[in-house]
Chains A and B, each alone.
Chain A
Amino acid sequence: MMDSEKTKNGNGFNPRIVAFLCNWCTYTGADLAGVARLQSSPSVRVIRTMCSGRVDPTFVFQAFKLGADGVMIGGCHIGDCHYSEGNFKTLRRVELMKIMLEKYGIDPKRLRLEWISASEGDKYASVTLEFERQIKELGPLKLQE
């Protein structure tokens, strides 16, 4: 496992961000960003699920445990979920997760929930870049220590 603290170009560390994207909206939005050649964050590693409601809180904790510095969950806009109500479940789980993360000593700002639709490629690009910048400011998670 590569040490995320290794600096490149002396500019600080390169964060490792895991993004759980819902297949119908956010994943397609990210795809659109790519097709349109918009610059999105290279630190983001995508895991596709059918719905943002599929994201189990244990995935998020496991991600942090395995060395992620930030986790992002992307889903359809409220009211537009492809499966009607899945994103409502995500919304309430994220609230709970933030409370739990704080108890574990992980800054809840490292978990981000974003609603991005299939046509919002530019939003995906800007959100990931901004999240990367935020994580860089927060610094590496150093969970092992």
Chain B
Amino acid sequence: MVTVNIDGTQVEVFEETTILKAAEKAGIWIPTMCHCDFIEPYGVCRLCSVEVVRGNRSRVVTACNYPVREGLNVRTNTDKIKWIRKMIMELMLSRWPNVKVVKEMAEQLGVVAPRFPSLERDEAEDACILCGMCVNVCRDLVGANVLGFASRGILREVVIPFENYSEQCIGCGACAYVCPTGHIKVKSLEYERGALKDWFLGAKSAIYVPTMQAVPRVPTIDEATCINKQTGGCKVCSTYCEPEAIKYDMQDEEIDIEVGQILLTTGFQLMDLKQMPQYGYGRLDNVYASMEFEHMLNSMGPTGGNIMCKDGTEPRAVGIVHCIGSRDENYHKYCSRVCCMYALKFAHLVKDRTKAEVYQFYIDMRAFGKGYEEFYKRLLDEGVNMIRGKVAEITEEHPPNGDKSFLSMKCEDTLIGKFREIPVDMVILCPAIEPQFDADKVKKIFSISQSPDKFFLERHPKLDPTSTMTDGIFIAGCAQGPKDIPDSVAQASAAAARMLALISQGEVAIDPIKAEIMSEYCSGCRICNNLCPYGAISFIEDKKLSEINEMLCKGCGTCVAACPASAITGKGFSDLQILAELEGILSV
């Protein structure tokens, strides 16, 4: 630790600290224009110049990269320094009069207007001020080495060497992030919208919190976009993390936990609407699936909650279409239950936030819950146009007189018995709720069944909707079938109660009709292993025998019939018992 004197204030800092950092610790402000915390100081703008005094001689140095030593005497506000700062700001202001950071700094340092014109005057608000932060970040922090300075003197500029587009650019956006004027913009060459699990309309950083309601609410790093994963550089997030909680080399861990009961609440996915090209999803601008529109409505979303078309304008009319893929012979025959209500919610919010006309295309209005029908009535009063009929096709139309293009929705209005073409600026589609894409795999792991619509099968649709045919495995929520939030919560509570009941019992009474393997006869052929629909039969490796889990066995007897060695007895329905019955029956 060394002691330095800045403007009369003594401050103690580590050796090798720069004057700038020492001054920061002492609470003294020194202006900077090319300084960036993440990288080595560049010292090119000279705005941070200060005087170092030794005896009666002084020297002007840049505070950002001058290391302190014991007894250093620094003055940051002498007349000379003030003159230097003013000069630099006049030079910058004359060349870049409209750049916000230049104007603000000039004002702070007392420079109103430059006394001379610049031959390289650049009126742009986002002009490049040659601070070099983008080049340094890309080279030192990210390690991609994409940007560089070219030419000298007046002609000096930041370029991507030799061509306009670099293969090495990883699209991290660090350059755009540090650029003080907004001169650098990250443009997406292709943008896959509505990919299977990612409904984000806008960009997000590589380290992010999934949603504000996530449990646990901790950030996660997206391996695909994290700079560290690609170049080994950056690591800026960990420098800001005080508890040092970020570890870049964390791998997925597999943990074994022994439990007695499992509750599956693996949820649903929305149908991929690219399967239905007539609606223009993924092909036409301003056609959204419901979850994407939900993201747009959110105040933390890409538009801050404003409803706008891709070109930034407010839509003149919005069409909301129910039942895309639901109640459809060609896709899903069932009703997805929640869409009517959220579609009405969208209609209400569009009416609330914009002056757009709203057209609602429905087949039946399913307002089944508490307050739902009243909400629907309210929307009728708000002037939402309800059209009972299916939409056949959505096309993009360009009026011949040069007016703005729009989307034409060709539909059938069954209540008036006519075909209609409704012009709108935005379409919101309600996709069917489907079981998760890996429901087949999950069902095999837990030995449960799927109903014909591929959601997990409940033991009884009315009397036991949370249990499955396999003891100890329970299901709740949309994994069992489409339902809204109140119903999901109720079902989950019911499942939890069932599970607790079993735990609190301590003892469980089981049916005596079971299968049992007589180990002396078992040859270890394992024919029975895969026959059990409840996964009750397992193979003991070291004894080379199969054995039956008494708790899981339901006594159906399939394995008993299949065993070639007759090693399995079905208690209550053993082979000998049935053969005796046969003898008795056929004796008369």
Contacts and interface: CB of A to CB of B under 8 A. Distances in A.
Tell me if chain B binds chain A.
Answer: yes
Interface of A: 1-2, 16, 18, 45, 47, 49-51, 53-59, 62-63, 66-68, 79, 82-86, 89, 93
A93 B557 CA distance: 14
A54 B585 contact: no
Given A18-B582, A57-B561, A66-B582, 18 more contacts: A1-B587, A47-B582, A50-B555, A50-B573, A51-B558, A54-B556, A58-B575, A59-B578, A59-B582, A63-B582, A66-B586, A83-B469, A83-B556, A84-B469, A84-B534, A89-B531, A89-B561, A93-B561
A5 B557 CA distance: 35
17 contacts: A18-B585, A47-B578, A49-B573, A49-B578, A50-B513, A50-B557, A51-B557, A51-B558, A54-B557, A54-B573, A66-B583, A66-B586, A82-B556, A83-B533, A83-B554, A85-B533, A86-B533
B212 interface: no
List the 5 closest A-B pairs by CB distance, nearest first. A54-B557, A84-B533, A53-B558, A83-B556, A51-B556
B450 to A, nearest CB: 11
Contacts of A18: 582, 585-586
Contacts of B565: none
A53 B557 CA distance: 6
B107 interface: no
A83 B583 contact: no
A66 B578 CA distance: 13
Contacts of A49: 557, 573, 578
B558 A86 contact: yes
B578 A89 contact: no
Contacts of B554: 83
A79 B562 CA distance: 20
B426 interface: no
B581 interface: yes
Contacts of B534: 83-84
B579 A83 contact: no
B467 interface: no
B298 to A, nearest CB: 42
B470 to A, nearest CB: 9
Nearest to A59: B578
B588 interface: yes
Interface string B325-352: 0000000000000000000000000000
B449 interface: yes
Interface string B536-557: 0000000000000000001111
Contact of A89 (B555, B562, B579): B562
Nearest to A54: B557
Nearest to B559: A53
B137 interface: no
A14 to B, nearest CB: 11
Given A1-B587, A67-B586, A59 B579 contact: yes
A94 to B, nearest CB: 12
B28 to A, nearest CB: 77
Interface centre among B558, B581, B583 (most CB of A within 10 A): B558
A63 B586 contact: yes
Interface in B243-279: none
Nearest to A49: B573
B280 interface: no
B570 interface: yes
Contact of A56 (B452, B560, B583, B587): B560
A93 B570 CA distance: 19
Given A2-B588, A59-B579, A59-B582, A54 B533 contact: no
Contact of A54 (B560, B581, B582, B583): B560
Nearest to B563: A56
Interface centre among B469, B557, B579, B583 (most CB of A within 10 A): B557
Nearest to B558: A53
Contacts of A67: 586
A70 to B, nearest CB: 12
Contacts of A62: 579, 582
Contacts of A86: 533, 556-558
A55 B562 CA distance: 9
